[in-house]
């Protein structure tokens, strides 16, 4: 990675820790850099700050009021506190206001880690609002923040919005009932993708994010999924794998489509890919992908028409055969075509190692330099 600017340093203290922050950093960024957690729902490492959620309050010595840390720049010799009881009290108030418009039984129920989707809800929560019927249950940032701030006690007064779920495109659903209007999706679309597909809007008096025109396609959505990736709740969810819950395993690999080489996380369960998301850190794509990489992988990998057996043409028809039969036939036939009458067409879809072996095989075993691939097409 290229670092060209010279970096000046701002020295400040957060929770008694001396920090040398890069000049221009906010208090929130400086704290995050050294691993101090400040609760927040609208800040995201790929997005410009917005103050939308109002949670990331901190106390600066000498300042009469708490300040929002995601937009306040770190200053020389500043002394910051992030965990005083007064701050926590204030943050709980802010969060409770958010929760008064979001189903919240999942945040406060002591049984939330035990129930299965078809268990009877002991809290008597309506089926649309249960923790186990939220696709983000267990992966939700709102749950994390509520846990951190120790929101428990009695349920917070809340009325279900009863808004219809927007299913206007094949890739993701938008459940307005779960939207907390943090604006991350709006900023991801506008400030990172350079589009303006989604914006804040009002539905039945509730402030939510949604497509600017009748549907996502008309709003020029390119279905990159950047909005889904930054949504802290279950409001924006990819439809594929939506109800799969937590993955059993996940690996980082390179996207098989264009030459950019985006790094993708493949989440798997029972030997199937359930979700694909772009990698944020240490990657050429910095948390971004496109519709093909984000939504176009699992279905072709697990497609029923995948070839699973060798095929040999017999009486004009391609018929299934064993590997042994196929390899024997190849060896017998190829032995007769060594030299210039043989050619190998390798592939820009195959790995480096496979292309290396293809040319080694052609040149060494088949004694031919007739090897090429579709680089020109």
User: Which of the residues 216 through 245 are near other proteins (CB under 8 A)?
Assistant: 217, 222-224
Q: Are 185 and 209 in contact (CB under 8 A)?
A: yes
- Nearest-angstrom CA–CA distance, 212 and 269: 36
Q: Which is nearer to other proteins, 33 or 363 (CB)?
A: 363
Helix axes 141-148, 85-99, angle to 10 degrees: 140
329: Cβ–Cβ under 8 A, 6 or more apart, which residues? 312
Q: Is 271 in the site for other proteins (CB under 8 A)?
A: yes
CB of 131 to other proteins, least distance (A): 28
CB of 83 to other proteins, least distance (A): 33
Q: Is 28 in the site for other proteins (CB under 8 A)?
A: no
- From 7-15, 26-34, 151-159, 247-255, span contacting other proteins (CB under 8 A): 247-255
Q: Which is nearer to other proteins, 62 or 336 (CB)?
A: 336
Burial of 56 (0-12, 13-18, 19+ CB in 10 A): buried
- Nearest-angstrom CA–CA distance, 191 and 47: 7
For other proteins, the binding residues in 154-183 under the rule CB under 8 A are 169-171
Nearest to 101 by CA among 173, 156, 26, 36: 156
CB of 126 to other proteins, least distance (A): 31
CB of 315 to other proteins, least distance (A): 12
CB of 164 to other proteins, least distance (A): 20
CB of 216 to other proteins, least distance (A): 10
* 3-state secondary structure at position 161: coil
Extract the tokens encoding 233. 């709740």
Q: Is 255 in the site for other proteins (CB under 8 A)?
A: yes
For other proteins, the binding residues in 315-344 under the rule CB under 8 A are 318, 323, 326-331, 333-335, 337, 340-344
Extract the tokens encoding 257. 């489509």
């Amino acid at each position: 990675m290229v670092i060209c600017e010279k970096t000046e340093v701002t020295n400040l203290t957060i929770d008694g820790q001396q920090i040398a922050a890069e000049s221009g950093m906010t208090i929130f960024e400086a704290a995050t850099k050294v691993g101090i957690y400040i609760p927040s729902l609208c800040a995201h490492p790929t997005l410009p700050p917005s103050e939308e959620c109002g949670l990331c309050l901190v106390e600066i010595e000498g300042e009469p009021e708490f300040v929002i840390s995601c937009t306040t720049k770190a200053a020389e010799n500043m002394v910051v506190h992030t965990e005083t009881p007064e701050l926590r009290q204030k943050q709980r108030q802010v969060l409770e206001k958010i929760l008064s418009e979001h189903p919240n039984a999942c945040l406060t129920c002591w049984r939330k880690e035990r129930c299965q989707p078809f268990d009877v809800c002991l809290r008597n929560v309506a089926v649309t609002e249960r923790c186990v019927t939220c696709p983000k249950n267990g992966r939700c940032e709102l749950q994390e923040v509520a846990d951190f701030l120790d929101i428990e006690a009695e349920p917070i007064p809340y009325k279900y919005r009863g808004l219809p779920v927007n299913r206007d495109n094949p890739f993701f659903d938008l459940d307005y009932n779960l939207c907390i209007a943090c604006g991350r999706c709006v900023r991801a679309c506008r400030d990172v993708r350079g589009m303006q597909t989604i914006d804040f809007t009002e539905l039945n008096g509730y402030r939510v994010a949604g497509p600017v025109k009748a549907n996502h396609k008309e709003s020029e959505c390119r279905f990159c999924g950047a909005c889904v990736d930054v949504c802290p709740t279950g409001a924006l969810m990819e439809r594929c794998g939506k109800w799969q819950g937590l993955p059993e395993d996940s690996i980082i690999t390179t996207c098989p489509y264009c030459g950019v080489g985006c790094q993708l996380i493949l989440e798997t369960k029972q030997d199937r890919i359930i979700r694909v998301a772009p990698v944020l850190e240490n990657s050429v794509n910095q948390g971004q992908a496109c519709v093909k990489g984000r939504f176009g992988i699992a279905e072709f990998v697990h497609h029923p028409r995948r070839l699973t057996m060798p095929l040999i043409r017999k009486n004009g028809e391609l018929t299934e055969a064993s590997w042994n039969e196929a390899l024997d036939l190849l060896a017998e036939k190829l032995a007769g075509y060594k030299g210039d009458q043989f050619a190998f067409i390798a592939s820009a879809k195959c790995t480096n190692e496979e292309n290396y072996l293809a040319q080694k095989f052609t040149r060494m075993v088949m004694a031919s330099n007739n090897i090429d691939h579709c680089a020109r097409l």
